[in-house]
Amino acid sequence: MAAQWYDANISIPGCDKNMPGTIMAMGRLNRPSIMIYGGTIKPGHHEGNTYDIVSAFQCYGEYVSGSITDEYRRTVLRNSCPGAGACGGMYTANTMASAIETMGMTLPYSSSTPAEDPLKLDECRLAGKYMLNLLKMDLKPRDIITERSLQNAMVVVMALGGSTNAVLHLIAIARSVGLQLTLDEFQKVSDRVPFLADLKPSGKYVMEDLHKIGGTPAVIRYLLEEGHGKTLEENVKLVPSLAEGQQVIRSVGNPIKSTGHIQILYGNLAPEGSVAKITGKEGLYFSGPALVFEGEESMIAAISENPSNFKGKVVIIRGEGPKGGPGMPEMLTPTSAIMGAGLGKECALLTDGRFSGGSHGFVVGHICPEAQDGGPIGLIENDDIITIDIEKRRMDVKLTDEQLAERRRKWSPHLTKLQQEFCISTLKTCKLHQEDV
């Protein structure tokens, strides 16, 4: 874009990370830009059951717990993804598409129109027309992505029950246009915005259902009417209201949860903060002994062998942060295994990694500092008592400062997976060289 001096940019991303990446690039370049979301997938159907990508992950937990057969598991896998499009619930892709539309960086309805719907092609055709308007007005991303539009994006994320990944993505988008967002600002929005959308992973419906009842613009209009938005009236004043009698979006008077599902927790286990996804269905308090795993692979092996051992435990998966992962991978397989095994209300899961938008249950991620940096999560041992209190916004291990300090003195960082692979590769190379000699 910059090297060739293009006047404007229309980008078509379609999944979790490339959408915020696209918006960050637009913000840095700051030339007239429109994002077209590739669109959501439709749900799969088989013998009266409805499936999506998380069904495919959760059925593994059901299988290892003995509640379904391998044949049924394979049936779920074959019917979970029937066509093109991003994962169908209010997972990370649909969360970010909704947030970006709310910011004003897409045409209305972009986030809720399914990938295979003919309206998506109409959107592509209209993008050129509206790009000419942006060029005439010289309206650039930094004119659109403002403190107010970011606030509106956070409001929609909370109301729709969006992914915890929205926290780090919106912070990064803000920085790309020279603005600052903090963890505490997300908490302030969460405190005043109710959780309204009965969408997967914790609910019943998928993004296609939201499309059928009026789409994201109708949700924005409803939130404005209830006093939860700012300066969006021009975009949605002609948009039809949510469909009469629909059940996808609850009323403000009858929310799924009276405050947002994203909660920012601190405590001696997360002195620099953490991000919890609490819909209220899993409770607001959990306390139990720690069950510690170095990486998700060892946790998956353990739950496959003995799911009942996880009951009542606070499961710790560490070494999955930005440095330790490296790259901060998503813990979708662990959370899906827990939910599939029927343990969603019987254990909690804490990690210095991230969660997929499809993760649900009593889950807390983004724990800072991460284990690789010597954070307290790296000092936890099996059977340490950990308490998560959502109402107090605290997450603590029952250890004194002196006990933590003593463990820190003895602590040394683990080799990351990348470092381990490098060492193994080097040893193999040396062995081959010795054999040749």
In angstroms, the CA 392 to CA 399 distance is 18
Angular region, 206: left φ>0, alpha ψ -120 to 50, beta rest: beta
Q: Which residue has the tokens 């059977």?
A: 383
In angstroms, the CA 274 to CA 316 distance is 14
Buried b (16+ CB within 10 A) or exposed e, 90-109: bbbbbbbbbbbbbbbbbbbb
Q: 395 CB contacts (<8 Å, ≥6 apart)?
A: 265, 266, 267, 269, 270, 274, 276, 350, 364, 367, 386, 387, 388, 389
Q: Omega into 141 within 30° of 0, i.e. cis?
A: no
Q: How many Cβ atoms sit within 10 Å of the Cβ of residue 310? A: 20
User: What pTM was estimated for this model as a whole?
Assistant: 0.91
Q: What is the DSSP letter of 249?
A: B
Q: What is the DSSP letter of 257?
A: B
Label residue 298 by pLDDT band (50, 70, 90).
very high
Q: How far is CA 392 from the centre of its chain?
A: 23
Sequence-distant contacts of 292-301: CB under 8 A, at least 24 apart: 292/316, 292/318, 292/380, 292/381, 292/382, 293/317, 293/318, 294/318, 294/319, 294/414, 295/319, 295/320, 295/417, 296/320, 296/329, 296/331, 296/333, 296/334, 296/353, 299/334, 300/333, 300/334, 300/337
In angstroms, the CA 22 to CA 264 distance is 27
Q: Which residue has the tokens 């807390």?
A: 364
Statement: residue 423 has pLDDT above 80: no
Label residue 281 by pLDDT band (50, 70, 90).
confident
Query: Domain 262-410 has what CATH class?
Result: alpha beta
Average pLDDT over residues 255-282: 95
Helix (H, G, I), strand (E, B) or coil at 385: strand
Average pLDDT over residues 227-255: 82
Active-site positions read: 356
Surface-to-core class of residue 425, CB atoms within 10 Å of its CB (0-12 exposed, 13-18 middle, 19+ buried): exposed
| pLDDT recorded at residue 280 | 83
> Using one digit for the tens of pLDDT, what is the confidence trace for 171-212?
999 999 999 999 999 999 999 999 999 999 989 999 999 999
Per-domain residue ranges for the chain?
9-41+87-236, 44-79, 262-410
| pLDDT recorded at residue 231 | 56
| pLDDT recorded at residue 428 | 72
> Using one digit for the tens of pLDDT, what is the confidence trace for 34-50?
999 999 999 999 988 89
Q: What is the DSSP letter of 339?
A: H
* Alpha-carbon torsion (9, 13, 16, 17), positive or negative: negative
Mean pLDDT of the chain: 93
Statement: residue 414 has pLDDT above 80: no
| pLDDT recorded at residue 45 | 93
Label residue 318 by pLDDT band (50, 70, 90).
very high
Share of the chain above pLDDT 90, in %: 84
